[in-house]
Amino acid sequence: MTEFTIAIIPGDGIGIEVMEEALKVLKVLEEHEQDFVLTMEEFPWNSDYYVANGRMMPENGLETLQAFDAILFGAIGDARVPDDVTVWELIMPIRKRFQQYVNFRPVKSLPGIKSPLASGDDIDFVIFRENAEGEYSDSGGRMFDSQASELAIQNTVMTRGGIERIAIAACDYAVKNGKKKLTSATKSNAVIHAMKLWDEHVKRVVAEGYPGLELESAYIDALVAYFVQRPQTFEVVVASNLFGDILSDLGSGIVGGLGLSPSANINPEKKYPSMFEPVHGSAPDIAGKGIANPIAQIWSAALLLEHLGREDLSIIIIKAIEKVLIEGEVKTADIGGSATTKQMGSAIAEKIKEQYVTGEMGSLMHETN
Ligand code: NAI
Ligand code: MG
């Protein structure tokens, strides 16, 4: 019997809409799998909660979440609350307290989805973004408010231990998945303290533990151009918090957009729950219209199941997504169709049911690897 407890945080805007579809898919799996039980509890921690309570989550919010096996997160962001408040009072505390120092973001061409790049086929790499320190730090401050001499200092925090563990996670993944090359995003020619430490320890980790792995170190400004010019040459990319954040949206853009891109915030030691969420935000421009693409959220749920040791179920979900995209009859607006969020979620749920009826399992994506 596998039984998991999952905390559900839909958030704001389309986060709420796409989460419904992910839950629809998880329910179908639960109905069809014997000995597979999900105990899910939903937490309404979002901008409404902030307006009512003056905070994004209760004081004991993190203690509450810690009791769960994993967290499935939608997206947050709402015009009534400053973005730095929603991010720093909800997402950042979860990532940092639970030592979710790996942000894992696959970038993969999907069947039936055309890349905006002229030569954008067969893209298949992953980004390991450092997720607990680096440029996203609250170290610093402001002085001389509203005066001509007004200033702000924002400190980047890079530690040997922090660099080492993200590099190890990326290398371990590379070796486990038969990848030959690790690309490290840097800017040590200009950011001479933090990024030089980054370079030194990424290099050391590879040299000491992964001699078979080729290390390509690329300046971030050149690297963004390479992402567009030769995306097929990347296998595993390791990057600091800020660089990884930007690279992953670009990665998402070259394979068809934010509606398709999942991510995982992982605590590899499994001491704390990991959190799974789409790369996208709450998309206020389309929120409430019921037209958001739920694939990124549903795929994030697949990553969650894989992390909990049910890769078999993750594959069933991904295969269903692929089938819907290959058929091409149900497509949301972001990928050139007119289907609603619910129609897309239901189409994927139906494909999962079909797999149980026909007994045909195993991912097309995995087969073609
Ligand atoms: P966004 O990701 O919400 O939207 C960017 C663009 O992509 C928009 O045009 C949107 O309509 C489109 N898009 C995003 N997801 C889509 C989907 N599933 N289907 C179809 N189209 C989709 O980023 P933006 O506009 O920069 O931020 C909006 C709000 O979201 C802000 O408040 C921001 O702080 C927040 N945000 C939250 C994140 C999170 O919860 N982890 C991540 C990024 C942004
Ligand atoms: Mg981002």
How confident is the model over 129-149, as pLDDT tens digits?
A: 999 999 999 899 999 999 999
Closest among 70, 244, 89 to 163, alpha carbons compared: 244
**pLDDT of 176-203, one tens digit each?**
999 999 999 999 999 999 999 999 999 9
Ligand nearest to the CA of residue 90, numbered in listed order: 1
CA separation for the pair 205, 203 (Å, rounded): 6
Q: Note the pLDDT of residue 360.
A: 74
**pLDDT of 308-364, one tens digit each?**
999 999 999 999 999 999 999 999 999 999 999 999 999 999 999 999 988 776 544
* pLDDT at 169 exceeding the cut of 80: yes
Give bridge partners of residue 108 from the DSSP assignment: 124
Q: Note the pLDDT of residue 2.
A: 86
**pLDDT of 84-113, one tens digit each?**
999 999 999 999 999 999 999 999 999 999
Q: From the CA of 295, give the closest atom in ligand 1.
A: 18
CB 97 within 8 A of CB 62: yes
Closest among 274, 239, 278 to 129, alpha carbons compared: 239
pTM comes to 0.92
Residue with CA closest to ligand 1 atom 20: 292
Q: From the CA of 14, give the closest atom in ligand 1.
A: 18
CATH architecture of 115-255: 3-Layer(aba) Sandwich (3.40)
In this structure, what token pair is assigned to residue 307? 């992390």
Give bridge partners of residue 42 from the DSSP assignment: 8
CB 101 within 8 A of CB 269: no
Closest among 10, 155, 119 to 75, alpha carbons compared: 10
Q: How far is the CA of 305 from the centre of ligand 1 (A)?
A: 24
Look up residue 107 and give its amino acid: V
SS (H, E, C) 30-62: HHHCCCEEEEEEECCCCHHHHHHHCCCCCCCHH
Taking residue 204's Cβ as centre, other Cβ atoms within 10 Å add up to 14
Give bridge partners of residue 217 from the DSSP assignment: 184
- Pick the residue with more confidence: 199 or 369? 199
Ligand nearest to the CA of residue 295, numbered in listed order: 1
CB 158 within 8 A of CB 134: yes
Look up residue 356 and give its amino acid: Y
Domain with CATH 3.40.718.10 in the chain: 1-101+262-369, 115-255
For residues 155-183, give the mean pLDDT: 97
Pocket test for ligand 1, best of 258, 286, 295, 330 (most atoms within 8 A of CB): 258
Of 1-5, 189-193, 205-209, minimum mean pLDDT range: 1-5
The answer, yes or no, to whether any atom of ligand 1 lies below 6 A from the CB of 281, is yes
CA separation for the pair 245, 268 (Å, rounded): 19
Q: Note the pLDDT of residue 368.
A: 39
In this structure, what token pair is assigned to residue 203? 């290099």
Taking residue 23's Cβ as centre, other Cβ atoms within 10 Å add up to 21
Q: How far is the CA of 240 from the centre of ligand 1 (A)?
A: 21
The answer, yes or no, to whether any atom of ligand 1 lies below 6 A from the CB of 286, is yes
Closest among 248, 249, 333, 250 to 286, alpha carbons compared: 333
CA separation for the pair 105, 123 (Å, rounded): 13
Ligand nearest to the CA of residue 83, numbered in listed order: 1
Q: How far is the CA of 244 from the centre of ligand 2 (A)?
A: 9
Taking residue 9's Cβ as centre, other Cβ atoms within 10 Å add up to 26
Domain 1-101+262-369 fold: Isopropylmalate Dehydrogenase (3.40.718)
**pLDDT of 27-64, one tens digit each?**
999 999 988 999 999 999 999 999 999 999 999 999 99
The answer, yes or no, to whether any atom of ligand 1 lies below 6 A from the CB of 38, is no
- CA-CA-CA-CA torsion sign (274, 18, 288, 7): negative
The answer, yes or no, to whether any atom of ligand 1 lies below 6 A from the CB of 279, is no
Ligand nearest to the CA of residue 47, numbered in listed order: 1
**pLDDT of 220-254, one tens digit each?**
999 999 999 999 999 999 999 999 999 999 999 99
